[in-house]
Amino acid sequence: MTAKPESKPTMGEMLEAVFRSHAESTRGAMPATVVAYSFATGRVDVQPATQVYVEGELQELPVLTGVPVLFPGGLLGSLVIPLSPGDGVWIAPGEVDMSAYLATGTPALPPATKRRFSLADCVAIPGLRSLSAPLPVGSADASATVIRSADLRLGSALAVDPVSLQSKVATALAAVKAWSLLVEAFCNGIVPGTFNPGTTLFAPDGVAPLTGALKVKGE
């Protein structure tokens, strides 16, 4: 009995295997969910929110740690927002190994390795949301730019002086005007009574409202 020769893959099968291996080792942009955020480093740990093919089978990707967050900003200004676990982000891998640039910031550096389009070199862009998790009510307006925050600071993070609100200033000025008219009437004898600095007439702090915003501070 003659033994059958071993089955060998065809050229087409080999090319398909090479292509599949290359495709599965190359990653593109995808949604992810924040697991942890480090304010000190500006890095985030994220869980990719979609499965990928690994050796022909769908698998869940592991948590990616220390991913740089892309907040808009430069030397003259920036916009940085706090991130919380559960927030959605869009992660996008770089074409080459970015570790050398991220460590030094030096342009035109050669990549440390030959890896390409790897999730080890991705960045996170905050703000991605699914239809099942829309922005909270009051976060957006079709005709205005809305910045929603429990603590908004203008100028720098050191801002502590509450920004005055027009409506509160108008209310306070109206109260001051009313006090001055009452004081004038009292001094002219139009309003009878005995001068008493302890009455509400002479206690503006008990009547005039604060004019500062509760959430917005500036410098």
Q: Tens digit of pLDDT for each residue in 61-96?
A: 999 999 999 999 999 999 999 999 999 999 999 999
CA–CA separation, 181 vs 78, rounded Å? 48
111 shares a domain with 36: yes
Q: C-alpha dihedral over 107, 110, 114, 120, to 10 degrees?
A: -30
Q: For residue 17, is it within any domain?
A: no
Instruction: Kindly state whether residue 205 falls inside one of the protein's structural domains.
Output: yes
Q: Is residue 61 part of a domain?
A: yes
Residues 33 and 124 in one domain: yes
Region 154-176 average pLDDT: 87
Tokens representing 152 are 């908004």
Q: What's residue 39's pLDDT?
A: 92
Residue 70: CATH number of its domain: 2.40.50.230
| pLDDT for res 199 | 47
Q: Are residues 41 and 119 in the same domain?
A: yes
Q: Kindly indicate the confidence band of residue 23, based on its pLDDT and cuts at 50, 70 and 90.
A: low
Same-domain check for residues 38 and 119: yes
The verdict on residue 167 lying in a domain is yes
- Asked if 169 contacts 140 with a C-beta cutoff of 8 angstroms, the reply is no
Residues 172 and 119 in one domain: no
What dihedral do alpha carbons 166, 169, 170, 171 form, nearest 10°?
120
- Is the predicted pLDDT of residue 135 greater than 80, yes or no? yes
% of residues, the chain, pLDDT over 90: 42
Is residue 182 situated within a structural domain?
yes
Domain with 184 in it: 161-218
CA–CA separation, 63 vs 12, rounded Å? 36
Place of tokens 């992810």: 32
Identity of the amino acid at 67: V
Judgement on whether residues 124 and 174 belong to the same structural domain of the protein: no
Pair 110, 188 in one domain: no
Asked whether the predicted pLDDT for residue 43 surpasses 90, the reply is yes
Q: Is residue 15 part of a domain?
A: no
Asked if the structure places residue 153 within a domain, the reply is no
Q: What is the C-alpha to C-alpha distance for residues 98 and 111, in angstroms, rounded to an integer?
A: 7
How many structural domains is the chain composed of? 2
